[in-house]
Structure 1
Amino acid sequence: MAEQTAHQDIRTDGGEKPDGTVVRDALAVGVAVGLSGFAFGATSAGSGLTVAQTCALSLLVFTGASQFALVGALAAGGNPLTAAAGAFFLGVRNAFYGLRLSQSLALPRAVRPFAAHWVIDETTAVSLAQPGRRAARIGFAVTGLSLYLLWNLTTLLGALGAEAIGDTDAWGLDVAGPAVFLALLAPMLKTAVERAVAGLAVLLGLGLLPVLPAGVPVLAASLAAPAVLYVEGRRAAARETARETAARDGAGQEEER
């Protein structure tokens, strides 16, 4: 009986993953992604933003893809409003993450406004990979805390070191951050629809880059999702119609017999 009780104590809500394993996995993600803050800090400061502005972006925005999109558009001479709009649309995905995490984490109301700031790609991926609620909460908290602290620290160090580095574009730091996020995104593209959205977004973004002002191609790339979903919806409707027609024809043949 005591052995059974001890076994139940180490179980999480619906899983058996030890807390230490969850913490280790979460820290691995937090450290790996947090280090890319160096690239953002250097790129942002090298693009003309002050150290204070660069650090404020990481402290208040805290979503790397949006941050890189913003400073990249500004560095290319884009309109600040267009750059901000592109960054905003990239960050909208976090709102959908929040809807999913609200169910799996079920955090107290008093904690939700603070936790919302940590709803990003990495915390969502780690949380949803856990077998139960307790493990999901631990994964979310550890990933969010480690990534937030390290990302902001490396942002500061990168911004301060931008002058010593010189031309950040020559070092390729302007693409280091996006490369990290693409590496994290690639394994998540499991369905044909997801791959189609990603491929069309790349084609739109790169294809329109030479002809549209900086920041606008990002906005155009956001149209990939509704376009692919519309086409997929039409195909699904056509398949359903074909099945219904085949079923009616089959029933008619049976009646004739």
Structure 2
Amino acid sequence: MLREVTATRYITPLREGGSLPGLVEADDLGTYVMKFTGAGQGRKTLVAEVVCGELARRLGLRIPELVRMELDPVIGLSEPDQEVQELLKASGGLNLGMDFLPGSIGFDPLAYEVSAEEAGRIVWFDAVVNNVDRSWRNPNLLVWHGDLWLIDHGATMIWQHNWPGARASAAKPYNASDHVLAPFAPDIAAAAARLAPLVTEELLTEVTAEVPEEWLADEPEFDSADALRRAYVEPLLERAATIHERVVLGPPTADRPSQAPGWLTGRGVR
């Protein structure tokens, strides 16, 4: 189960994120990026962070530690920014923390080489969870101690926003044309051969069990948190088995160079 900590000091907002995450200190003396239940995207964003983040970790991808983070709204009383103060007030109780990686830098495809094998693993994983937010515009990758770390999985599993259409939505292909790692000739077939057998019903049941029960309450189509957890397991299990056959690397977009392998001055050619 995710460790639980308590926020003790709000340091600063991180305005790069659409949900206005914040940098906080906790009672374990750690520093975390905190994501709030009171943010506009709601608790489903946090569910996606936990399910996808913990799945990625179990598949051997690098994910900063996720923790359950208790927040007392009184922590925001001295915050001068009205928007931040309102967010903290609306987020009392259990929120999500992600370990802060000090000294990490945002991934730049022009400055950092990625092997076809590693690119394939990340693109395949993003295809499984239908991550639409790891593009060249917003990589959501950090470089820390020379390694790639995956962050920000709130914009995944879009089917959770329309459960009656979840199975049809989950069956759709994954368009990786704008994926930030598309230029590095991702070996998606090799990634699928290695990782797909690991994505079992047992593994996904373990991962969804990490989601706090209160974030799963009151979902209209489900009579229990366990039934909702099962609804997360089924599409991920199906996609993991076959999505590598439906990953699309299309033609260049109009507002950047071609994403085909090799557009980075030959860097992506293998």
Q: How would you bin the TM-score normalised by the shorter chain?
A: under 0.3
Computing the radius of gyration from Cα coordinates, the structure with the larger value is: 1
Of Structure 1 and Structure 2, the greater strand share is in 2
If asked which structure has higher relative contact order (CA below 8 Å, sep 6+), I would say 1
> TM-score, normalized by length of structure 1?
0.25
> TM-score, normalized by length of structure 2?
0.24
